Amino acid sequence: MVLHVGDVLPEVEAPKMDRLRLAYMAVSMRDPNLVHMEDDYAARSGLPGVIAHGTFVVSYAGAAVSRVVGVDAIKRLKVDVTGPVFLGDVLRTRAEVVDVEPAADGELLRLDLTVNRDDGQTVGRGEAVVVQRSR
């Protein structure tokens, strides 16, 4: 698939956030922060309930890109987490090609990335730079 400015990559829709996903992430990231596991602790921190790790937002943004261009084509991935993800939320990605520059081995594409909750709130913004090899 050859990408051009204005192309939008297929959306990635994450499964509904649940406690099991949070537990798996806490173990895999070695992140024992109770704000991800205990509602009472999250409430004392001013939140309505536990929040998901920001890694979920970043990883789904990366998946939107890598599923189309492949992991090896990604030269840079930068995603800022801009809002919380709660239990029951479904994340959706948007990745749009916004710039193309010539490169030694093809083209460098810059993509704008957004990750939104199912209520429409943006929880992640960033960009990816990928190489599109000459054919």
Q: What is the pLDDT of residues 2-48, one digit of tens each?
A: 999 999 999 999 999 999 999 999 999 888 889 999 999 999 999 99
Give the 3-state DSSP-derived string for 18-40, with helices as H, strands as E and coil as C.
Answer: CHHHHHHHHHHHCCCCHHHCCHH
61-110 pLDDT, tens digit per residue, is 999 999 999 999 999 999 999 999 999 999 999 999 999 999 988 999 99
**pTM greater than 0.85 (yes/no):** yes
Structural fold of domain 19-133: Thiol Ester Dehydrase; Chain A (3.10.129)
Distance CA 84, CA 89 (A): 10
